[in-house]
Amino acid sequence: MTAHILYILERFFEESAAFSVPIGGTSQLGETLQRGLEKFGGKLQLNAHVDEILIEDNRAVGVRLKNGNVVKARKAVVSNATPFDTVKLMPQKEGESKKLTKWRDDLGTLPRHGAISHLFLGVDATGLDLSHLEDPAHLIVQDWNRSMQDSQNLCSFFIPSLLDKSVCPEGKHVIHVYSSGGEPYEPWEKLTPGSEEYEEYKKERVEILFQAVEKAIPDIRDRLEFTIIGSPLAHEAFLRRDRGTYGMAWAAGSSAPQAGILGSVLPFPFPNLKTPVDGLLRCGDSCFPGIGTPSAAASGAIAANTMTHVDNHLKLLEEASKKDPIYKFLDPGFMGQVYRPLVQGFTPSAELRTERFATGAGVAPVDYTQKNAERDAAASS
């Protein structure tokens, strides 16, 4: 357990603590990100599975999709896949640098958690009294003398409809139950999805998840209207996670390989977002600062910040601070003015500067607000 997770757990028990649940369901996170992407001229392409990251002269120049199409990178390629999946997209080539070979070997052999199983339930809430549940999220431990990595010992369930009625029809509840990240993958890889043996094994492995919910809702099975079991094979297929892994399992208090310069001084348990290939960055739950939505989002912000001028960072923070009083703390203020001259000559990161930005103190800042206004004016004329 890392220090920042301990910090979060401590704050969780403060009186003012609250669950950060997106109104309308978790899908709102992705839809909001898509709106932001498109607002600034980006495009989200679905069913575009990457087959290979294309590298020329030790620079990532784009990706080849499994359908054969090639997407060229204007500045960089950013992978949010796990390290185990990212290295599979970079087959070893003759004459590649020793740094790249070592990086691939280091990341591909990092210790990992096991897989994870999910149970999604839709239930009839008629006459169901849940007033005894103080929280919508619960952690269930069957035996405190057994390992917390045992997926048949530790699991969690969450009832988002207790907080947001809009996620399901009136008179219903939705429940997500999931095992610890210690589900053995080996028995699953011998099974064929859809086969009778596979379906029976799914039911057998999630029985413990049903039992966990029964501790709070004893008649849960009688109330069932909808059920989906997510096996490790489904976790692997839909989330593109090698062997259905929950993620990295690097011990706290030590630095993982490829943790960057600070990793040689401080115990960073996650690899750096940079790579030995120019124009290739990583982000996601297998990079600093770690697992979980806030950490993964932070790694994405770090990757974005690495690619753009510091003036853009500060302008974005200033704009965000004015959106709502609760965001006032984001205003860079005086400290931003002190920070700017110290780093503007190093932004974006030198190895990400393409030929057109090879000279000068980084890429000139872009006024996206003005660009969007001009684009909208042109579209309406």
Query: Do 142 and 227 sit in the same domain of this protein?
Result: yes
Query: Do 269 and 333 sit in the same domain of this protein?
Result: no
Indicate whether 164 belongs to any domain: yes
Query: Do 357 and 368 sit in the same domain of this protein?
Result: yes
Query: Do 127 and 234 sit in the same domain of this protein?
Result: yes
Model pLDDT for residues 33-86, shown as the tens digit of each residue: 899 889 888 889 888 999 999 999 888 999 999 999 999 988 889 999 988 899
Q: What is the 3-state secondary structure (H, E, C) of 96-122?
A: CCHHHHHHHHHHHCCCECCECCEEEEE
Among the candidates 217, 244, 271, a domain finishes at 244
Model pLDDT for residues 280-338, shown as the tens digit of each residue: 999 988 887 777 777 788 888 888 888 888 888 888 889 889 988 888 988 999 999 89
Indicate whether 17 belongs to any domain: no
User: Residue 256: CA atoms inside 13 Å, Cβ hemisphere, count?
Assistant: 29
238 and 105 Cβ atoms separated by less than 8 Å: no
Query: Do 212 and 256 sit in the same domain of this protein?
Result: no
Q: Please give the C-alpha separations between residue 331 and each of 206, 300, 302, 318, in angstroms, as whole numbers.
A: 47, 20, 18, 5
Query: Do 66 and 141 sit in the same domain of this protein?
Result: no
Model pLDDT for residues 119-178, shown as the tens digit of each residue: 999 999 999 999 988 788 888 998 989 988 889 999 999 999 998 889 999 999 999 999
Query: Do 230 and 262 sit in the same domain of this protein?
Result: no
Query: Do 271 and 361 sit in the same domain of this protein?
Result: no
The predicted pLDDT at position 356 comes to 41
Domain range for 371: 310-380
Indicate whether 163 belongs to any domain: yes
Indicate whether 63 belongs to any domain: yes
The predicted pLDDT at position 312 comes to 83
> Measured between alpha carbons, how far is 193 from 290 in angstroms, rounded to an integer?
31
Query: Do 214 and 100 sit in the same domain of this protein?
Result: no
Amino acid at position 138, single letter: H
Indicate whether 35 belongs to any domain: no
CB count, 10 Å around CB of 148?
Answer: 13
Among the candidates 212, 228, 244, a domain finishes at 244
> Measured between alpha carbons, how far is 237 from 218 in angstroms, rounded to an integer?
33
- Environment class of residue 5 by beta-carbon count within 10 Å: exposed (0-12), middle (13-18) or buried (19+)? middle
> Measured between alpha carbons, how far is 217 from 267 in angstroms, rounded to an integer?
43
- Could you tell me which of 234, 247, 148 has the C-alpha nearest to residue 188? 234
User: Residue 208: CA atoms inside 13 Å, Cβ hemisphere, count?
Assistant: 20
Displacement of CA 259 from its chain's centroid (Å) = 18
Q: Is the pLDDT of residue 196 over 90?
A: yes
Indicate whether 173 belongs to any domain: yes
Query: Do 50 and 131 sit in the same domain of this protein?
Result: no
CB count, 10 Å around CB of 376?
Answer: 10
Read off the DSSP letter of residue 325. G
We report the CATH number of the domain holding residue 235 as 3.90.660
Out of 7-11, 19-23, 94-98, 365-369, pick the least confident: 365-369
Domain total for the chain? Answer: 3
Between 173 and 348, the more confident residue is 173
Query: Do 262 and 355 sit in the same domain of this protein?
Result: no
Query: Do 98 and 121 sit in the same domain of this protein?
Result: no
We report the CATH number of the domain holding residue 56 as 3.50.50.60
Indicate whether 1 belongs to any domain: no
- Could you tell me which of 81, 132, 95, 111 has the C-alpha nearest to residue 280? 81
